[in-house]
């Protein structure tokens, strides 16, 4: 099984997820979407699976700093456009297990995924 962890290297939640995976001996590749960007196809796939409301990180500084006009009347297409322009707005981490993804880091959900 090929596993990819998507996120931003310096993020504290990412560090927790990486540490958990390493402590469990899970082999994975890391894709830093701030350094290497992210493609529309992955964002669309994640939004279909989880809903754009889950994938878009509204709690983050990058989103909160947007002017109200850009935050108004959001839908999936507008959210994806925002995330493509500023990948910091993507909730992290996204763990791609091949057949499904997990958004965010919760140790119990990761443990259940690797049973």
CB 63 within 8 A of CB 57: yes
Residues in the chain: 115
Is 47 annotated in the active site? Answer: no
Q: Which residue in the list 5, 11, 43, 47 is annotated as catalytic? A: 11
Which residues are CB-neighbours of 44 under 8 A, at least 6 positions away?
A: 80
Active site residues: 11
């Amino acid at each position: 099984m090929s596993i990819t962890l998507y996120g931003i290297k310096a993020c504290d939640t990412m560090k927790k997820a990486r540490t958990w995976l390493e402590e469990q001996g899970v082999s994975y590749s890391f894709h830093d979407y701030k350094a290497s960007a992210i493609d529309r196809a992955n964002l669309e796939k994640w939004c279909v699976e989880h809903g754009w409301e889950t994938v878009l990180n509204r709690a983050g500084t990058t989103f909160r700093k947007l002017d109200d006009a850009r935050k108004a009347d959001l839908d999936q297409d507008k959210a994806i456009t925002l995330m493509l322009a500023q990948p910091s707005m993507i909730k992290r981490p996204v763990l791609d297990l091949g057949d499904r993804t997990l958004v965010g880091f919760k140790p119990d959900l990761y443990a259940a995924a690797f049973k």
